[in-house]
Each structure stands twice: as structure tokens, then as C-alpha cells.
Structure 1
């Protein structure tokens, strides 16, 4: 009995140590000279022998005139039958989930197609992983302007050869057609969250900066605050300080 308990405790400790090591893995690994070159690390083409690149059926969000085809990969598992023949087992050929005005998943690209055209174009030619894309429906209803906001992993910041949630998450924006795809967050700044204030036609977001260069985001780092005017042509990112105290402005009611 003591032997069994000892083996169980040993296995539990090993599992805990493995999980802790994974959790403590830094999101950024800097080069020896301490530069931020990690932000430009790209991922090479991987062996797709066990993956199939597919597209989900298209979706049409809100008042947009453009269909969106989500592109991703599914893992195919093969095994040998009793007769020696190889069989394929795949439980799902779906790479995305769609809720009203939002696509989620781990997508490598999106293809855009005007509803009256047969031509299809990609969102980007870069290697990225898209975690979510949100259609700003209240803005479209009010201003007739179609805008998409993306949560994206765009660089192998931990230099493990993969683009995934262990890398830094960034914020992007584009027109409803997928054109003018623009990064809003600063390189090596981790996106915390974002929101839209419809009364101002502004998108606000926060990011955290690894100012002590330890590769992790913690209490010693700096949180930055930004906003953009969604109706502006170039979506210029402006910083602000919510803690600054100015002379109160009297507002007539």
C-alpha cells in the first residue's frame, strides 16, 4: 500500500511540476543583446502531414457586403485496422465558431468575397493566428461604416517555433472588406482588453509592457492606455492617462 501511495504522490508531483513549468514559460524570449528583435520572429512552414488545411462555410456579418471564409487546420489521426489497412479518424472538420457578429477559433487567415463577385482575396499574406474577429454592428447601424476588430498572435515571441496563445496577443483592425488591415498595439505589448464607446465612436484598449525585460507580464510592468477614432481615415492610435487630474470643467445641464 505504501508503495502505491508513493507512486501516486510521485506522479502527482511530476504532473504539477510540468504544469507549473508550462505556466511559468515566458511569453517573450529576448536575444542576447537585449533587443526587441523577438517581435519579428516568424514561423516557417511546418510539416502538414498530420493536418488538413480547410475553410469553414462563409458567414455574412451584419450589414457588410463581404462574405468571410475562415481558414484553419484540423488534425487527422490515422490508425491501422486488423486487416492492415490504414484508416482515418477525424471527429470534426470545423475550424471556427460563429456567434452573432463574432468569429472565434485558431484561424490562420480569412478570405473575403464580395457577395456579388466570384473573386476571393486573403486578409493577409503574413503568418498569423487569429483568435477572434468582431464586427462592430452598433457602429455600422449608426454610421453605415463596416469595421472588423481582431485579436491576433502575429509573432513567435517566445521563439518556440509556433504561433499560439503562449505568444503575445495583439490587436488589429480592418474595413469590413478586409482591406486596410492595421496593427494597433505596439510590438511586444500584450493586449489586455478593448471596448467600443458608441457615443464617441471610439475604440479604447489597454496593453501591458514588459519594462523590466524578464519575458513575463507581472506587477512590475507598465499598463498603457490608448484609443482610436473609428470614423477617422487612418485610425491613428492616441495614448491617454486615466489617472491624470485636470481642472474640473463645469458642464451646463
Structure 2
């Protein structure tokens, strides 16, 4: 009987821990028509330390990326939380080689150096916690467009005076040289995922909006789709909805 009680207690404890973790990790923000993004911008996350990392050269370009890491005050020397990957493979044609670069971890920003001109462009002075950065250079899938996508957090939506995964996620873009950095997703919409289609040089991404105002992003809220024409100089995210077209064809 005691054994059964201990097992039951263990299961209940683990369930409570899992539930607590899931709740804590959800981005929460209660917004209305009077809410403005400026109220959620922080000057500096004092729980993190900015450390300039070693530069990374992007193959077949004239650019070197200088990333700035974000380290916790408690784990300044924990370099295992970061990774920079370059994965290469060849297609059936041995002359076709593809490479892609992705920065994973926590980063405060990037400075892009042009090794031919010596010019250095800092992508932004805004306080942002970047969690995932993908570089699409001319060897990457499509030689017609070159750009960089950034996933991260720029608004302290849970008001704890720090930027991390508990805040609403956002999507950003810049040119390969670091210029024209801009936010693609809408403030207070939780960014979910994206898809880059080579066939039409367009970027598609999805967000979710807290429709019922309960401060949580759940299945009952509104899911929104956006498309960006990467050929255009000004990268604008245009909202679209294919559902009416599907219904018309039924």
C-alpha cells in the first residue's frame, strides 16, 4: 500500500512540475487598444552580460559577422549555451554545393564587416535577445536573393525587466551586409514559424494573436499568415488568408 502511495505521489509531483514549467514558459501579455510597444521596451537587461564573440566569415561573400553573446550573470563562462553551425552537403551534381549558417543561443546583436571596404554595420542599437539567426547567402538555395532572418525578443511583455523566452517572440530581417534591419512580425503577436520558398522568392510566416485578452497564446486565439516579397527592396510583411479561396472552390 505504501509503495502504491509513493508511486502515486511521485506521478502527481511530476505532473505539477511539468504543468508549472509549461505555464512559466508561455509568453503572456494582456493588451487592449491603448497598449503601445514603447511601454514594454527596456533599456538594458541587467541579468545578462554582453560578450563580443569571435568573428565568422561567410563563404563566397565579402562579409564577416561579429556576434555579441548574452551570458547570464551566474554563468558567464558557460559557452555550451551557444553554437554556430555550418552544414554542407552536395547534390547529385558534384559541382553543386550548398552551405547554411545558423546562430543558436542568446545574442545581443551582430556587426557585419565588409572585408573589401572595411565598413562595419551594426544591425541595430535596440535591446534585443536573439535566439536563432539564419543567414541565406548566395550559395544558399537561391542565388537571386540574399538576406538574414532573426528570431528573438524585443519587448518585455511579461514585465519582469528582462528579455528571454518568456516574452513574446518576434521575427526580423536584414540585408546580408547588415543594413536595413527591420521587424517583420507585428508587436504583441507571438511569432511561430516561417517558410522560405525558392520557387517565388517569398518568405511566409505565421503568428498568433491573443484574441480573448487573457494574456495567453492558445489554440482558441487568432492565427495570422504573412508573406514577404524578398525581391523587393523594401521588405514588407503583407497579411494574407487563403481560407476564403479554399471555400470558394468547394
Q: Deviation at 1:196?
A: 0.8
Q: Deviation digits for residues 2-23 of structure 1, max 9, x if unmatched?
A: 6x99899878866754553342
Q: Deviation at 1:243?
A: 1.4
Q: Deviation at 1:120?
A: 3.2
Q: Deviation at 1:231?
A: 0.6
Name stretches of at least 5 consecutive residues in structure 1 with no aligned partner.
79-88, 249-253
Is structure 2 residue 79 aligned with structure 1 residue 92?
yes
Paired with 2:127 and 2:225, the residues of 1 have a C-alpha distance of 27
Of stretches 233-242 and 193-202 in structure 1, the one that deviates more from structure 2 is: 233-242
Paired with 2:154 and 2:73, the residues of 1 have a C-alpha distance of 25
Contact 1:39/1:157 (<8 A) preserved: no
Tell me which residue corresponds to 1:152: 152
Q: Deviation at 1:160?
A: 1.1
CA change 1:17–1:165 in 2 (3 A) is: same
Contact 2:168/2:189 (<8 A) preserved: yes
Tell me which residue corresponds to 2:94: none
Q: Deviation digits for residues 164-188 of structure 1, max 9, x if unmatched?
A: 0111111111001111001111111
Q: Deviation digits for residues 40-76 of structure 1, max 9, x if unmatched?
A: 412343547xx65322221122443221111013357
CA change 1:225–1:13 in 2 (3 A) is: same
Tell me which residue corresponds to 1:128: 128
Tell me which residue corresponds to 1:198: 198
Q: Deviation digits for residues 99-145 of structure 1, max 9, x if unmatched?
A: 332111110111111113445332111100111111224667522x4
CA RMSD after TM alignment? 3.2
Q: Deviation digits for residues 169-224 of structure 1, max 9, x if unmatched?
A: 11111001111001111111111110111110000111111111111111210111
Tell me which residue corresponds to 1:69: 66
Tell me which residue corresponds to 1:239: 239
Contact 2:82/2:106 (<8 A) preserved: yes
Paired with 2:149 and 2:187, the residues of 1 have a C-alpha distance of 17
Task: State the TM-score, normalizing by the size of structure 1.
Answer: 0.77
Question: Number of residue pairs matched?
Answer: 233
Paired with 2:106 and 2:70, the residues of 1 have a C-alpha distance of 9
Name stretches of at least 5 consecutive residues in structure 2 with no aligned partner.
87-99
Tell me which residue corresponds to 2:35: 36
Contact 1:38/1:158 (<8 A) preserved: no
> Which structure: larger Rg?
1
